[in-house]
Amino acid sequence: MPKIAIIGAGSIIFSTTLVNDILATQSLNDSEFVLIDPALEKVKKVEDYTKKIIDKNNLSAKVWSTTDRKKALKDADFVITTFQIGGMEAYKIDYEVPLKYGVDQCLGQCVGPGGIFRGLRSIPVLREIVQEMEELCPNALLMNYVNPMAINCIGISKSGRINFVGLCHGVQTTLDLIAGYVGVKKESIDFLAAGINHMAWFLKLEKDGKDLYPIFKENLEKPDFYINDKVRLEVTRHFGYFMTESTGHLSEYLPYFRKNKKALDLYCDQPAFGGESGAYYKWCDYIAKKYEEVDFLGFESGQLNPRGKDYCSYLIEAKTTGKIFELNGNIINKGFITNLPENCCVEVPIFVDKLGLNPSKVGDLPMQLAALNQSNVTVQMLAAEAGITGDPELAFAAAAMDPLTAAVLTLKEIRDMVIELFEGQSQWLPQFKGKKPKKINIINIPEGIKGVEVPLDPALAVANRFGKLGGN
């Protein structure tokens, strides 16, 4: 009977999906679930939902909820993190303040100013969890779902020595799309995907040894295919490989697609995750208000649904029973991708068995793909270091290096935006203790001012000399 602690279990849709998947796994339906959330009223609803499933299906699982995280973590075998520090109040600031400065985010969750500040809010809590796990359940496996995935995983790695993996849905859902584009069943596709979270590249797509990329690339040139996912397919056309995540996500990771109205109208004109401004914030706000008004879990019958695509239950099953399972997970780079930095967070194939996580060495990514990944790795490593050290200047540097932000704003504008984000979110940023980046004003140059004498570059000195000679 594994003990599974879910931190942030008040996240109703996500938590109930994870619980259902685990209970639908025969070898795990005697598990002990501990649901942790400061909002006890919400988490009690998830507890009641879980009890309905257990009772209706005559399972031997147990479930209880608490606000006491240490009590919940004691002797846990698996810890799942799925929380959002600051909730919708903070998320609104993540979206609206950058938009005021001209940075238009579709999700604002994993990269960009919104992703950076979500990471700064999350890392202190993740650090506490890691330290508590070292004391209370040092052999447990931490499965992180909290975004921004890469920033938070780097923060976890800097917080202690707990075994962990970051889990996402990008590879599974993208493979469904690829299968439709090439007319092949998903189960028949042999693939290799690697890179960073939300920017993992499908380096190989084959069926029975035959390369599927030619037909994929042929179809993406067709308007009825292209319109579905303009940004991802445009990147494939120019850089040669398809990748995980939607147009909306990817449009934030690169400087080409959201920097002005022309680019937005051309590439991000589809609704929702097709590039719409604030799509995920608006959806989350709608769902939050919907669940405030009606307790939808109260209408659940206790029906146990088949397992979904999420990796979590399969990973727990593999670690518990020894049944080998392969997934794409987010871990710290220890030479798995050789042309990305050590200690960044990479998403690579991982085999799981009773002994734990066994990551695969991918080697070098094609140079152009590594370069695109690196543009975001730099931001992620700066943001994680800022979150750990409480250095606001590193937080500014992370925003300044963000590809979309840098494509839109000057350094002065970025600094002013970051200061405003700090001022709006100080209550969720304890590691900064009221600190924020210093304000730097524009230096005004009076009309007619003459610059001080400076040494000339030798080449300029020669050019200047000849210029004067020519004038004589």
Residues involved in catalysis:
169, 253
Rounded Cα distance, 116 and 429, in Å = 12
Q: Which helix (H) or strand (E) holds 413?
A: helix 411-425
Q: Which two tokens stand for residue 338?
A: 């050789």
Coil, strand, or helix at residue 409?
coil
Tally Cβ neighbours within 10 Å of residue 14: 18
Task: Answer whether 269's CB lies under 8 Å from 226's CB.
Answer: no
Q: Which helix (H) or strand (E) holds 331?
A: strand 325-332
Q: Which helix (H) or strand (E) holds 12?
A: helix 12-23
Q: Kindly give, in sequence order, each residue whose CB lies less than 8 Å from that of residue 335, ignoring residues fewer than 6 positions away.
A: 342, 361
Cis peptide before 138 (omega within 30 of 0): no
The distance of Cα 91 from the centroid of its chain, to the nearest Å, equals: 15
For 75, 128, 164, 384, 430, the CA distances from 156, given in Å and listed in that order, are: 20, 10, 8, 9, 17
Q: Which stretches does DSSP call E strand in 392-467?
A: none
Entry field: residues in the chain: 472
The distance of Cα 380 from the centroid of its chain, to the nearest Å, equals: 10
CB-based burial label for 293 (10 Å; 0-12, 13-18, 19+): exposed
Coil, strand, or helix at residue 330?
strand
Identity of the residue numbered 61? A
Rounded Cα distance, 443 and 451, in Å = 14
DSSP 8-state symbol, 26:
G
Q: Which two tokens stand for residue 5?
A: 């602690």
The distance of Cα 333 from the centroid of its chain, to the nearest Å, equals: 16
Task: Answer whether 410's CB lies under 8 Å from 102's CB.
Answer: no
Rounded Cα distance, 47 and 307, in Å = 19
DSSP 8-state symbol, 301:
-
**Helix crossing, 112-136 with 367-389: angle to 10°?**
60
**Helix crossing, 87-101 with 112-136: angle to 10°?**
150
